Each structure stands twice: as C-alpha cells, then as structure tokens.
Amino acid sequence: MPGRGPTYNALRHMPPFDLSSWLNLRTAEVDAALDRSLPKESKKPSTIHKAMRYSIFAGGKRMRPALVLAAAEACGRPNPDSYSLACAVECIHTYSLIHDDLPGMDNDDMRRGKPTNHKVFGEGMAILAGDALLTQAFEIAALCESNSRYSHRDLVLELARASGSLQLIAGQVADLEGEGKPTSRAQLRYIHERKTSALLCCSVRLGGMSVGCKPQQLEALTDFGYHVGLAFQVIDDILDVTQSSEVLGKTAGKDVKAGKATYPAIVGLDESRRIAAALTRKAFAALKPFRGKATALEAIAEYLLKRDH
Ligand code: GRG
C-alpha cells in the first residue's frame, strides 16, 4: 500500500543484514571514542594510563558497545550519548576482566590473546587500572545529557545498579564462594544473571535510553538483554570446554580445573547447546514489538549463539 512503508512481511525479504560490516564500522567508532575518553598514555602518571589502555585496546569483541548501539538504532538514531554509554559499559566490562584475572580471583595469564594486565604491569598496578576504568566509566556517563524521557541521573543509576554489589559483583561473589561446591541449576542461573546478563541487559537498556525510547521499548530491550545475556554465558561455558586457548584468547578449560559450576558440567554439552538456543529464541521473541526494526540486535543475538570465541 503506497505511503505506508514496508510491511513486516516485506521487511523479511530485504537483503540480509551485513553484521560483519556493521560491527567493523561500529567497533572502529567506539575505539575512536574510547581513545578520546581515556587519558593519553603520556599523561602523568603514565604507568596507570598505559595499563588502562593496554587492556581496553587488547582486542575484545566489543559486544557490549555493539549492543548499546544496536539498541539505540532499534529505537531511533544513535547520538553522541549512545557512544559515550557504549564506552562506559566497555570500561566497566574491561575492569571486571582485569580484576577477575588477578591472582586473588581466577589467577589467569592470558586475556584477549595477550598476557593479562597484572602479568605486564604487576598486581598493584592492575588493581589500580581496574579501579581507574570503573571510575572512568562513571565520569563518561556523568557527562551525558538528559533527554525527553530519561534524566542524566537515570543513566548513571542504570550503570551503577548493573555493576554494583547486587548484580555484577554479586555474581562474582557467588562464583568465588561456589568454587568446588555442588551447585544446582537454580544457583547457576543466579550467578549467570548477575555475572553476565546484568551488564549485557544494562547495555541494551542504556542504548534505548540514550535515544529516549518509549517505556514499552525499554521493557522489550530488558527482556531481550536478559535472555541474550544468559545465552552468552552458556555459550561461554561451552566454548571453555570445546575450544583451544589460542582461539579463545584466554586459558581454555579453566572452569573444570577450578571446580566451577557450568552448564556443560551440570547438564552436559548437548543439553547446554539446547538451553543456549532456547534462550536465544526467547531473546528474538522479545524483539517482536520492534516489528523488524531491530535488525542489528537480531543479527548480534544470532552471531553470539554461533560464535566460536
Ligand atoms: C567485578 C571482578 C568482578 C568481576 C565480575 C564479569 C566478571 C564478574 C568476571 C569476568 C570473567 C567472566 C567469565 C565474566 C562473565 C562474562 C564473560 C563471559 C565475559 C567475557 O566477555 P567477552 O567474551 O570478552 O565479551 P571480550 O574480551 O571479547 O570483551
């Protein structure tokens, strides 16, 4: 019908979305924004700025920033605050990886295909680099503007709640305390919701909020982020036992060695794959209200299910 735009069926026949080009472009934009946001290496005290930049630019997949921008696209047009919030979540994510790798936590030597932060800069500096990235995230978020639906306070609160002691840190606490102990599926779900899903969910919510999404859209993004976040961790657990350290860029097989509860350990590999696929289907279903306009989010969810690292 002329003048009414393509119907949902017509959209289904549009050329397939080129996620690889989309990700390359978005990653380059986010990297440039991160480069502008973080103090230069030469800025005194230069060791800390070198350590922060070492891990931020070590070659992560940038999935959380991608989710921020894809959600912003689903609800409108990404703006400078969408990019700032994409940088903020990546800073929080990178801080959590640096601290997770420390001898007092997972004690890992390799991350993002490189020696871990403490292996290069020493334990004390790695702790500070993580602290500084966490703080940097809030400085970046604090500089965002309010929009017609969400205040600048809403944005900062969103980030604080996802990364605080009830979510991200709660997940890590349960993970540490559960090592070597029998874990039920319900306990494992509790850990995954906090350790992984909270920040992925926060990423899509912040993307929508940055462009002033409607409450129904925020609800749909929350549902999507929750399920895609859970699927992400189940896949991460599967890859830990099926891939090599070279492919993963981090030590493979560590979960089993550390006596960590994982889906493959509790229900086996085949059932874990079925669970990841079912969670991804739920994530897709959450995008229905966008009526085909959440193309990048759909493509990312599919990619995350099929990824090999
Ligand atoms: C607060 C210290 C602290 C930890 C919080 C996030 C976390 C808990 C620990 C980090 C290690 C871990 C297994 C996290 C679960 C989420 C996850 C699978 C992270 C890896 O994310 P990717 O694959 O990593 O997106 P890249 O390097 O590609 O960004």
Bridge partners of 105, per DSSP, are none
Domain-by-domain residue ranges, the chain?
A: 17-306
Distance 71 CA to ligand 1 centre (A): 21
Q: Is the CB of 250 within 6 Å of ligand 1?
A: no
* pTM of the entire predicted model: 0.94
Distance 260 CA to ligand 1 centre (A): 15
Tell me how far apart the alpha carbons of residues 63 and 139 are, in angstroms, rounded to a whole number. 21
Mutate which of 195, 235, 262, 309 to test ligand 1's pocket (most atoms within 8 Å of Cβ)?
195
pLDDT tens for the chain, 309 residues long, are: 333 333 444 445 556 899 999 999 999 999 999 999 999 999 999 999 999 999 999 999 999 999 999 999 999 999 999 999 999 999 999 999 999 999 999 999 999 999 999 999 999 999 999 999 999 999 999 999 999 999 999 999 999 999 999 999 999 999 999 888 888 999 999 999 999 999 999 999 999 999 999 999 999 999 999 999 999 999 999 999 999 898 899 888 888 888 888 999 999 999 999 999 999 999 999 999 999 889 999 999 999 999 888
Contact 70, 17 (CB under 8 A): no
Tell me how far apart the alpha carbons of residues 192 and 37 are, in angstroms, rounded to a whole number. 30
Phi, then psi, of 118 in degrees rounded to 5: -70, -25
Distance 94 CA to ligand 1 centre (A): 8
Q: Which protein residue's CA is at the shortest distance from atom 17 of ligand 1?
A: 196
* Superfamily the domain 17-306 falls into: Farnesyl Diphosphate Synthase (1.10.600.10)
Q: Is the CB of 172 within 6 Å of ligand 1?
A: yes
Q: Which protein residue's CA is at the shortest distance from atom 24 of ligand 1?
A: 60
Distance 196 CA to ligand 1 centre (A): 7
Q: Is the CB of 61 within 6 Å of ligand 1?
A: yes
* Tokens encoding 296: 């990048």
Tell me how far apart the alpha carbons of residues 179 and 260 are, in angstroms, rounded to a whole number. 5
Contact 85, 99 (CB under 8 A): no
Q: Say which residues have a Cβ less than 8 Å from residue 302's Cβ, sequence separation at least 6.
A: 280
